[in-house]
Amino acid sequence: MEIIHLDHQILKEEMAHAFSSKNVCEPAVHHVTSSMIQTSLRGVDSHGIHLFPHYCRAVDAGRINNNPPFTFTQTAPSVGYIDAIDAFGHHVGSDAINKACDLAAETGMAAVSVRNSTHFGAAAYFALQAAERNMIGMAFTNADALVKATGSTKAFFGTNPICFTTPLKNEEPFCLDMATSLVSWNKIKNYRREDASIPDHWAFDAEGQPTTDPHIARSLAPAGDYKGFGLGMMVDVFCAILANGFISKDLMAMYDSPIEAKRKVGHFFMVIDPTKFLPLNTFVENMQDMVDRIRKMPTLEGQEVMAPGDPEKKTMAIRLETGIPILPGIFNEFLEVSPNFKRAIK
């Protein structure tokens, strides 16, 4: 099947126009389109532009609030929360991480929780905003139950990702962005679209048995078995328990619930200002040295040693030149929104 490549700048313009035509507020338009483009350029296709048609349907149905009047409530010098009122997660999450940065600049560390939100895309989009402000950024979100509980036949926690970023001296920030599941559910959906078998050990059927058939997959394997399941629980403590929100098991499903259903997702953001510990130059030099030493480790034949985030940096450099790849079947969903997306084909 021939892959279509899209110019990221034109694509962003057309997505922004589509959202604006649905009366989505300007800050939300900016953040949701910026997040999808950045994420696809970094090669995380499951959380990038592939989500655009779904987001359009969610706005049309009222699941996502196109102009939410959310506000920040500060409860302590370095702590606060936001009730998202069903905002785009990309919008409220960006406000939350930047508020955490503002507080951390004064207090050294800060945390902001978000409740009653929606899908926020890739966690890296938020944590990288902190790194760009020369701070350590951490971003978490919960999601509907898709990760099989160890020893059970059913799922309890969501893919519940963890992202950790820091600035570096000579390059774009260090970024670890990982689900606490082995893979994301959107990857399973992509295999369904292509009617292809999924790799062993990714997913389980309704009886909790391993399957390579994406059409009967009902739950995902946790990363590192019980360890990933435990980390998923930690994320739900941050995103649901602390926020007085809904744990993964009680969230409305992103895809398998009525499109108008409010999802009530929770997020959590933590920021550390390294200058409250040591000079910034010392911090970024030490970080850069560690990353460089990792890359210089002896390699197995035919392999390369990379630090977390290196594959995404390499992919971005390529896609900025060649464009964002997309399958024709998925691109047809863009054309159903507007024929003007043809402009983006390279």
The pLDDT of residue 193: 82
79-101 per-position pLDDT tens digit: 999 999 999 999 999 999 999 99
The pLDDT of residue 189: 86
Residue 34: partners with Cβ closer than 8 Å, 6 or more residues away: 12, 90, 125
Overall average pLDDT of the 243-266 stretch: 96
What confidence category does residue 130 fall into, taking pLDDT thresholds of 50, 70 and 90? Answer: very high
pLDDT at 187 over 90: no
The pLDDT of residue 104: 99
Question: Domains in the chain, start-ordered, CATH in brackets?
Answer: 4-181+222-278+312-344 (3.30.1370.60)
Overall average pLDDT of the 3-17 stretch: 99
Global pTM reads 0.96
Q: Is 13 exposed, middle or buried (0-12, 13-18, 19+ CB in 10 A)?
A: middle
Tally of CB atoms within 10 A around 183: 19
Structure tokens belonging to residue 197: 């078998």
pLDDT > 70 fraction of the chain, expressed in percent and rounded: 100
191-211 per-position pLDDT tens digit: 998 899 999 999 999 999 999
What confidence category does residue 49 fall into, taking pLDDT thresholds of 50, 70 and 90? Answer: very high
The pLDDT of residue 319: 99
| C-alpha span between 324 and 42 (Å, rounded) | 10
259-287 per-position pLDDT tens digit: 999 999 999 999 999 999 999 999 999 99
- Indicate the average pLDDT of the chain: 97
H, E, C per residue of the chain: CCCEEECHHHHHHHHHHHHHHCCCCHHHHHHHHHHHHHHHHCCCHHHCHHHHHHHHHHHHHCCCCCCCCCCEEEEECCEEEEECCCCCHHHHHHHHHHHHHHHHHHHCEEEEEEEEECCCCCCHHHHHHHHHCCCEEEEEECCCCCEECCCCCCEEECCCCEEEEECCCCCCCEEEEECCECCCHHHHHHHHHHCCCCCCCCEECCCCCEECCCCCCCEECECCCHHHHHHHHHHHHHHHHCCCCCCHHHCCCCCCCCCCCCCCEEEEEEEECHHHCCCHHHHHHHHHHHHHHHHCCCCCCCCCCCCCCHHHHHHHHHHHHHCEEECHHHHHHHHHHCHHHHHHEC
The pLDDT of residue 31: 99
The pLDDT of residue 186: 80
- Which residues, in sequence order, are bridge partners of residue 272? 109, 136
pLDDT at 151 over 80: yes
The pLDDT of residue 194: 84
Overall average pLDDT of the 148-153 stretch: 96
Strands 72-76 and 4-6: unpaired
Structure tokens belonging to residue 327: 């399958």
Mean pLDDT lowest for which of 114-123, 154-163, 188-197, 307-316? 188-197
163-182 per-position pLDDT tens digit: 999 999 999 999 999 999 99
The pLDDT of residue 1: 62
